[in-house]
Amino acid sequence: MKTSGLSRLTPHVLSALRIAAALLFIAHGTAKLFGFPPGAPRTPLVLLSLLGAAGVIETIGGALMLVGLFTRPVAFVLSGEMAVAYFRQHAPGGTWPIVNGGELAVLFCFIWLLFVAAGPGPWSIDALRRRA
């Protein structure tokens, strides 16, 4: 089946979404681990804590998503991390994400779930490995 119009761009837009989301996700992890970028909220970090584990998962998982390596399994782990973050940290603060501050956790959860189903798109190491 031949694609026409804007739909032919879908795989490339998927890659662009993965890259943009990964850059934002990495920033959440590095803020937790290193207080970077400057001005990001920072709490005293205990590496062997849930917050420390989240920082490691977000930084390493985000980097893997950025380059599109092991995309589907990494996206599965990241989606699960965001679901846990929402229900542990945000849901107790109220029913609605707009009220409990959980919009980003919900959005990241479903973005990563999209990549579990759709794969990384053409601009990825996974795509290069398939061609080889």
Does some domain include residue 3?
A: no
Residue 62, pLDDT > 90, answer: yes
Does some domain include residue 39?
A: yes
Burial of 23-50, coded b for 16+ CB within 10 Å and e otherwise, reads: eebbbbbbbbbeeeeeeeeeeeeeeeee
Does some domain include residue 1?
A: no
- In SS3 terms, the chain reads as CCCCHHHHHHHHHHHHHHHHHHHHHHHHHHHHHHCCCCCCCCCCCCCCCHHHHHHHHHHHHHHHHHHCCCHHHHHHHHHHHHHHHHHHHHHHHCCCHHHHCCHHHHHHHHHHHHHHHHCCCCCCHHHHHHHC
pTM of the model: 0.93
Number of domains in the chain: 1
Q: Using a pLDDT cut of 70, give the percent of the chain over it.
A: 96
Does some domain include residue 50?
A: yes
Does some domain include residue 4?
A: no
Report helix angle 71-85 to 103-118, nearest 10: 160
Q: Give the separation between CA 33 and CA 44, rounded to whole angstroms.
A: 9
13-33 pLDDT, tens digit per residue, is 999 999 999 999 999 999 999
Q: Give the separation between CA 72 and CA 129, rounded to whole angstroms.
A: 14
Mean per-residue pLDDT for 111-131? 97
Does some domain include residue 43?
A: yes
Q: Which domain holds residue 44?
A: 9-131
Q: Which two structure tokens, joined as six digits, stand for 42?
A: 């920072």
Does some domain include residue 60?
A: yes
